[in-house]
Structure 1
Amino acid sequence: MTTMNAQRFKRGMIAIASTAGLGLLAFGAAAQSPMDDLNSASVLDLPEQFRVFSEYDPNIRKPTAIVNGEIITRTDVDQRLALVLAANGDVQISEEELQRLRIQVLSNLIDETLQIQEAAANEIEITDAEVEQTLQRVSGNFASEDVNFADYLRQQGSSQRSIERQIEGELAWNRLLRRYVNPRINVSDAEVEAVRERLEASRGQTEYRIAEIYLSARPDNEAQVRANAEQILEQLRRGASFPAYARQYSEASTAAVGGDLGWVLPGQLPTELAQVLPQIPVGAVSPPIPVPGGFSIIAMVDQRQILSADPRNAVLSLKQITVNFPPGTTEADATPVVTQLAEASQSSGGCGAAEALAQSVGGTVVQNDSVQMRDLPPALQQAMVDLQIGQSSPPFGSIEDGVRVLVLCGRESGAPSQSLDPERIMASLQDSRSSRMARNYLRNLRRDAVIEYR
């Protein structure tokens, strides 16, 4: 799979990603410390001394289940697992991690089945036309010229039916929530005013959007847990999905939402984490950080200054010059062209000369007048922040997918990421509350389900 096809596939998968955990409070909701969950089993009154009467290894369980009478087959699991692996691109994972991921995929399929069943019990029906409409959007995001979407899925060991099932589950669950959960959400004027006051008091401070993977450890297994954390970090740095690994491995309550802690101030976190946040670049993942009771791996999703104008909210007018190379072109063959593109773009005379520059290097030009800076990859965001009108970014891309430069033609200043507008604050509070109630709803469905494993 080419890099570009992998990126397109990821964008397509985002279009049908689960929304049960989204909408977290976007203005500094208190983060839950991993320590909050360490004594959650105390209500079970377990004995301190006991022995296990038989061994049980979930990794050898056949990945087949019957959920309230509905069968999830091994083929279902294999095809959905293939989707996950395809979304991770060329990242290689060990057999042990593959087994763990397979079990997580089965768990996700069980949740999906429960959601569809609950929607049907409440007379919510998703039509084939609705599924097809979403599928067309996903395949449109994939938009590959050399292979169509259905053929690509088969090549990856999956099927169109597997994605259609996922789409059906998302649509059914979202409609169920809109009908029965969202109408029960109430946010008072006093709560809105409390958020406004907290924002005003924090004006200008830096807050961070982070995600976590927390692994608990004891003195007797600390070395092993650290080694496991290092293995997870290695996979993440090779391109594995942080939310997927958080759902699979994290022992914090945020695992259910892919490790997402939302926007937090350093003072809301344990000291060990607060000290390292300023050192983690946006888009990077930290090494395992020792914290009380274990280790945390932190992903820096974003950062901003509270109630301050954010340059990454700026809307850009851009011209993109792209040079494509014939199949089989070597790096040695491409280097002179890339060098010419780099030198010419820095002295070309801005947007008005972009077409002539493209012609001189055998490239093409595409113009877009409404690109939000924060939608660009992090490395390009920093480059564009520093550019003046008419200047160009350094060349970027690959020999396989084309080398490009962006010429900045215009910039509309970015507004603050947060707002003191009561309606926007109320909407964010409602989204956060809806997300929490949705997780509780699904937890209750799991608790009441009759599930057999074969």
Structure 2
Amino acid sequence: MKLGTFGRAALMLAGSVAAVAAVAQTVGDDEGVPANPLNIPADPEIFGSTDPSVVKATAIINGEIITATDIDHRLALIVLANGGAGRIPPEEMQRLRAQVLRNLVDETLQIQAAAGADIKVEPAEIDNYFKQYSSNFGRQPEEFAAYLRSQGSSERSIKRQIHGEIAWTRLQRRQIEPFVSVGEEEVQTIIDRLNASKGQQEYRIAEIFLSSTPETAAETRANAGRIVEQLRNGASFLAYARQFSEASTAAVGGDLGWVRAEQLPERLAEVAVALPVGQISEPIAIPGGYSILAVQDARQILTSDPRDAVLSLKQLSITFPEGMTRDQAAPRVEQLAQLGQTMGGCGRAEQAAATIGAEVVSSDQVKVRDLPPALQQMMLQLNIGQATTPFGSFEDGVRILVLCGRDDPAASSEPSFDQVYEQLNEERVNRRAQRYLRDLRRDAVVDYR
């Protein structure tokens, strides 16, 4: 059995206790006094928690230890992604802990399976991914590591997750993908269906999939329901998908990309068609478990969408001193609104902004669909040189957008053979990967503590 540092320390501690007990027994006998004057039982029952400074094993998977600290650090990542502990009810935290433990068990099995197949993930690769991850937060790796510690997590926790994702992806490429086949006729059939469906709706879908058996279906359904509740209360779908989804798309936040209803299983298709954009579904029972869907966008197949237009914008923003009331700030907001209507377009934006102390920021590659829904319709109705009405908040600043240019989208063309092939291939790899992970769970020796 692979004990690692923790296991060796535990054996050393056990040996030390045994040695001390032996010495105590010898001293008692030599001095003619009872060896146990306090009448302490040889095998006492301990009531209450042990020393919290000791990192205890929570599970041992094929000899590899997951500690309570590992769970705490991974749980802190979920809390951080959802805006802090105040966003997650206390009763939900314990359920999240149980789910995080299950995820860490799966992650360990995936890493072990990859190692057993002689798949290596070099530390330098993990460091590079961590550097990219840090840059998404606008920090250098050292700064981000310190930030994680301040939030109750650790650099090690994220790096272990990165290790697991790389190892599992490479294992799928070696053990699963070579045995998945997609025929040319299948691909052409889908392309023909797409052409026949021109003008119909397709959807940008994200999914969280939780597997279950008939015996665990009720528990999995309840867990999925709790996740839906958290998502509807503002939790990050991307973060929950990365941590909890058992589909291969977990690493990309559950993103399935653009799909038509007929490309989805029948039950998922029914929900996707009926679900408004931006909404989260109830847990959906499908073969093998439950899915949670988020419809992130919708558009017509093989038809140009005005929201794919690329905009050139200038943003004028004003901020307010701390403590300023809404009534005190209102005249400045009105001043910004008037400026947007009278400044004469983007060419005079800087000059006009200076008159009221506004900040100007330019951007030339903004897709309409990437803007908040409330702004999309407003931007599509503007002519070049016109500005939106003010928006934002008194805490973060109020701003207007001035339209400087717009490149309208070209008519959509049919998807390429390669695009359809890749999607079909990914779906089949995903299903086989789920079965493979179930086999790993079935054959594992897992000791929960």
With normalisation by structure 2, the TM-score equals: 0.71
The equivalent residue for 1:306 is: 301
Instruction: Give 1:248 shift.
Output: 9.2
Residue 440 of structure 2, aligned match among 425, 445, 450: 445
Please tell me the residue identity of whatever aligns with 2:83: G
1:123-162 pair list within 5 angstroms: 123-143=118-138, 148-162=143-157
Out of 338, 345, 349, the residue aligned to residue 344 of structure 2 is: 349
Contact 2:248/2:430, CA 8 A, preserved across alignment: no
Asked whether the equivalents of residues 212 and 259 of structure 1 are also in contact (C-alpha less than 8 Å), the reply is: yes
Choose which of 261, 264, 279 in structure 2 pairs with 1:265: 261
Correspondence for 1:72: 66
Residues 177 and 326 (structure 1 numbering): CA distance in 2 closer, same or farther, change over 3 Å? farther
Letter in 1 for 2:329: A
Q: Are 1:178 and 2:166 matched, yes or no?
A: no
Identity percentage over the alignment? 54
Contact 1:116 1:173 in 2 (8 A): yes
- Of residues 412-421 and 110-119 in structure 1, the stretch that sits farther from structure 2 once superposed is 412-421
Farther-moved stretch of structure 1 (317-326 vs 134-143)? 317-326
Q: Which residue of 2 aligns with 1:323?
A: 318
Give per-residue Cα distances to partners, 1:304-325, cap 9 Å, x unaligned. 1111112222222222223344
Name the CA distance, whole Å, in 2 between partners of 1:226 and 1:172: 29
What is the alpha-carbon distance in structure 2 between the residues aligned to residue 100 and residue 366 of structure 1? 44
Tell me the amino acid that sits aligned with residue 356 of structure 2: V
Decide whether aligned partners of structure 1 residues 346 and 451 sit closer, same or farther in structure 2, where only a CA change above 3 A counts. Answer: farther
Shift of 1:81: 0.3
What CA deviation, in whole Å up to 9, does each residue of 1:303-347 have, x standing for no partner? 111111122222222222233444454444433322322232233
Cα distance in 2 for partners of 1:426, 1:272 equals 21
Deviation at 1:247, TM superposition (A): 9.0
Out of 64-73 and 400-409, give the one that drifted further: 400-409
Shift of 1:144: 6.1
Aligned length: 379
Does structure 1 retain, via aligned residues, the 8 Å contact 2:261–2:273? no
Q: Tell me if the contact between 1:248 and 1:255 (Cα under 8 Å) persists in the aligned partners.
A: no
**2:86 matches 1:89:** no
| Structure 1 residue aligned with 2:415 | 420
Contact 1:315 1:371 in 2 (8 A): yes
Please state whether the residue corresponding to 1:308 is helix, strand or coil.
coil
SS of 1:374's partner is helix
1:283 corresponds to which residue?
278
TM-aligned CA distance change 1:400 to 1:121, over 3 Å: farther
C-alpha spacing 1:238/1:336, structure 2 compared with 1 (3 Å)? farther
Residue-by-residue CA offset, 1:35-57 (whole Å, 9 max, x unaligned): xxxxxxxxxxxxxxxxxxxxxxx
The separation in 1 between residues aligned to 2:167 and 2:221, in whole angstroms, is 40
Summarize deviations over 1:45-102 as a string: whole Å, max 9, x none. xxxxxxxxxxxxxxxxx98111111111000001110100110114622333211111
| Distance across 1 between alignment mates of 2:281 and 2:183 | 38
> Looking at both structures, which has the greater relative contact order when contacts are Cα pairs under 8 Å and sequence separation is at least 6?
1
Determine if contact 1:63/1:77 at 8 Å carries over to the other structure.
no
Bigger mean CA deviation after superposition, 265-274 or 301-310: 265-274
Contact 1:119/1:125 (CA < 8 Å) preserved in 2?
yes
What does 1:385-400 align with in structure 2 at a 5 Å threshold?
Answer: 385-400=380-395
Note closer, same or farther for the CA distance 1:287–1:444 as it changes in structure 2 (3 Å cut).
Answer: closer
Whole-angstrom distance in 2 between the partners of 1:276 and 1:438: 24
Amino acid at match of 2:74: R
Q: Distance between the aligned counterparts of 2:195 and 2:435, measured in 1?
A: 32
* Superposition deviation, residue 214 in structure 1: 10
Deviation at residue 228 of structure 1 after TM alignment:
9.7
- d(CA) in 2 for partners of 1:207, 1:358: 42
What is the CA RMSD across the aligned residues, in angstroms?
4.0
Cα distance in 1, alignment partners of residues 147 and 61 from structure 2? 30
Render the CA deviation track for 1:176-232: whole Å, top value 9, x for unaligned: 3334433444322101111011111211112334457899xxxxxxxxx99999976
| Structure 2 unpaired stretches of 5+ | 1-55, 211-219
Alpha-carbon distance in 2 for matches of 1:149, 1:327:
28
Distance 1:69 1:77 in 2: 17
Deviation digits for residues 111-153 of structure 1, max 9, x if unmatched?
22122222222333222322222222222111169x9423321
Contact 1:213/1:255 (CA < 8 Å) preserved in 2? no
Alpha-carbon separation, structure 2, partners of 1:229 and 1:113: 23
Q: Distance in 2 between matches of 1:104 and 1:148?
A: 29
Q: Distance in 1 between matches of 2:264 and 2:155?
A: 44
Q: How does 1:12-91 map to 2 (within 5 A)?
A: 64-90=58-84
How far apart are the structure 1 equivalents of 2:68 and 2:166?
24
Q: Does the CA contact (< 8 Å) of 2:187 and 2:420 recur in 1?
A: yes
TM-score, with structure 1 as normaliser: 0.70
Alpha-carbon distance in structure 1 between the residues aligned to 2:167 and 2:243: 24
Cα contact 1:289–1:297 (8 A) shared by 2: yes
Contact 1:314–1:413 (Cα < 8 Å) also in 2: yes
Counterparts of 1:212 and 1:371, CA distance in 2:
26
- Check whether the contact 2:271–2:281 (CA below 8 A) recurs between aligned residues: no
Runs of at least 5 residues in structure 1 that lack an aligned partner in the other structure: 1-61, 216-224
Counterparts of 1:311 and 1:268, CA distance in 2? 26
Aligned to 2:214: none
C-alpha distance in 2 between matches for 1:172 and 1:266: 32
